[in-house]
Amino acid sequence: MTWQTRFSLAGKTALVTGASSGIGTAIAEVFADAGADIAGHGRDADRLNALGERIQSTGRGFAAVTGDLTGPTETEAVATQALEAFGQIDILVNSAGVALTGPAVDYDLADWQRTLAVNLTAPFILSKALLPGMMQRKQGKIINISSQTGVIALQDHAAYATSKGGLNALTKSLMTEAAPHNVQVNAICPTVVLTEMGQELWSASEKKDPFIARTPLGRFGEPVEIADMALYLASPASDLVNGAILMIEGGYSSI
């Protein structure tokens, strides 16, 4: 098997949540470039349609999937739409997320509940819906887009960090059930990534500069860098990687 084959997603179908923006868009585009058909989930119909046009122009299939990930019924419907579009889903990427930050002592309970619903409960529901098919076929990949704040502390991120720490734990727990069926479950923990959301939250120099100064590489991440890691985890090249919590944060957590 050549290296191109080892990193190919030809013949695979992937459900990517949060595909209408940021990291999710980059993952959908990179996966399609590697040969996968994409069920792209998002809240922005115009952006999803534009993404679909770009992907279909490369000869790959695309299905736009809509649904609010804050409720279990709506989240289950996302999995159903993806399955109806392609018959089976070989790769699930839980990329959709919300970052509602603020001091814990003043934090609104509704924001806490929304954060956990989108960042943690939705990945569980989608995995629960799609994992049985992967296990039955004896192959599949689940990739959770977590955060370095799921591993290290960051001020004003109590809800976000809790959701991502829980996602890391879910990754390892699902792995123990999926591994005997040749299904790999892994998580990516990025630093701040320069998506629209990342730029909005980290544009102020008084917040940005100390963080970058604390990062050995001296910069934030780009969406395609996370997408490239996701491609590795989605491809046959990573079949031995299972239950990994992969830090991609310029060395921040190493010092």
* DSSP per residue, 177-223: HHGGGTEEEEEEEE--B-SHHHHHHH-SHHHHHHHHHHSTT-S-B-H
The pLDDT of residue 202 is 85
232 among known catalytic residues: no
DSSP letters, 62-84, are: EEEE---TTSHHHHHHHHHHHHH
pLDDT beyond 90 at 218: yes
State the pLDDT at residue 161. Answer: 97
pLDDT value of residue 19: 98
pLDDT in tens, 105-119: 999 999 999 999 999
1: pLDDT strictly greater than 90: no
The residue-averaged pLDDT of 231-235 equals 98
pLDDT tens for 162-189 read: 999 999 999 999 999 999 999 999 999 9
Q: Does residue 198 carry a pLDDT above 90?
A: no
Question: Is 148 a residue whose pLDDT tops 90?
Answer: yes
What is the average pLDDT score of the chain?
96
Over the stretch 84-99, which tens digit does the pLDDT of each residue have? 999 999 999 999 999 9
Neighbours of 103 (CB within 10 A): 9
Average pLDDT for 212-226: 95
Report angle CA 218, 220, 223 to the nearest 5 degrees. 145
| pLDDT over 90 at 47, yes or no | yes
Q: Which of 107, 160, 232, 252 is catalytic?
A: 160
Q: How many CB atoms lie within 10 A of CB 4?
A: 9
